[in-house]
Amino acid sequence: MRKFLAALILIFSPVLALADEITIAALGDSLTQGYGLPPEEGLVPQLQAWLDGQGAGVHLLNAGVSGDTTAGGAARVGWTLTPEVDAMIVALGGNDLLRGIDPAEARRNLDTILKAAQEAHVPVLLIGMRAPGNYGPDYKAAFEANYADLAQAYGTLFLPDYFAGLGEGDPAALQRWFQPDGIHLNAEGVAKIVAAIGPTVLDLAARARAD
């Protein structure tokens, strides 16, 4: 009988593991999409490999669109949140900064995204962007505050700076983690970002399982 029960466990354990798998959509721009990198070296594939190494039971969906602003994310969040999506990573705002978009407009768009996730009962990890100083201190403060304020309002998991995993120091020294355009990360830079955000993605998966 013990051998029979053991055989049943071996047969059905893959099915049980599949049933417990969490699907997380990564809603973002070219940094999420993997611009300029071989498919296996982008953010989503590297993060998937990291999660697999942790035995996380997570399947990532790449919902990154190169060039997308927060407005683009707001426009497509509805069809990103398909029934199989259990949680969502939101990493948008870099293109808003490149275009100097009004922080109030970016805030409205992020609010739309988070509200859609809340209505779908999908937990979120919101990843912020640090604004450069060339737009002035008021712009910088307002833009960065969007993320912290909305994360608190919606009770999301929150990382204030997408690039924090690269470390502090001389900006010129950090360029070794970027492609020649100085905007998009190279494979080694992506790996550092994955190592920094991975533990919080595990927390996100845990939230999704608890819901």
49 has pLDDT over 50 = yes
Q: How far is CA 145 from the centre of its chain?
A: 18
The two tokens of residue 120 are: 């779908």
The two tokens of residue 114 are: 């988070």
30 assigned to active site: yes
> Are β-strands 87-91 and 22-28 bridged in parallel, bridged antiparallel, or unpaired?
parallel
Strand partners, 58: 22
The angle formed by the CA atoms of residues 150, 160 and 24, to the nearest 5 degrees, is 75
With b for 16 or more beta-carbon neighbours within 10 A and e for fewer, the 57-92 pattern comes to ebbbbbbbbeebbbbbbbeebeebbeeebbbbbbbb
13 assigned to active site: no
* pLDDT attached to residue 8: 42
33-43 pLDDT, tens digit per residue, is: 999 999 999 99
- Cα 80 from Cα 210, distance rounded (Å): 21
59 assigned to active site: no
140 has pLDDT over 50 = yes
Annotated active-site residue in 30, 68, 86, 96: 30
Annotated active-site residue in 20, 170, 181, 211: 181
Residues 6 or more apart from 161 whose CB is under 8 A from it? 128, 129, 130
- In 3-state terms, what secondary structure has residue 148? helix
The two tokens of residue 198 are: 């991975």
151-194 pLDDT, tens digit per residue, is: 999 999 999 999 999 988 666 778 999 999 999 999 999 999 99
87-125 pLDDT, tens digit per residue, is: 999 999 999 999 999 999 999 999 999 999 999 999 999
5 has pLDDT over 90 = no
* pLDDT attached to residue 170: 65
- Whether domain 27-210 has CATH 3.40.50.1110: the reply is yes
10 has pLDDT over 80 = no
- Cα 101 from Cα 89, distance rounded (Å): 22
